[in-house]
Amino acid sequence: MRAARRETVTVAGRDVVVFRSGNGERPVLLLHGWMFRTSRFAPLIRALTERGYSPVAFDAPGHGESSAGETSILQ
């Protein structure tokens, strides 16, 4: 996770932390479920990056490094 590029985007007034790895080619979006955070994907992110993919993951609102609150899939 230390090698990932970290950025913050605002969704419905809440800060959401996004992590990007790789060179941007062959992107793969990783989504976590309840009681989870992006850092738990670290082994998967490393494996995907080694295979030439560019994983993109985010801490959903109320999880990990993102601010508290809820959003919907539409947001």
In whole angstroms, give the CA distance from residue 48 to residue 28: 8
Assessment of whether the complete model's pTM goes beyond 0.85: no
The DSSP bridge partners found for residue 58 are 18
Q: What is the distance between the alpha carbons of residues 3 and 7, in angstroms, rounded to a whole number? A: 13
Report whether pLDDT(26) > 90.
yes
**pLDDT average, residue stretch 47-66:** 83
The residue behind tokens 């309840």 is 34
Whether 17 has a pLDDT exceeding 80, the answer reads yes
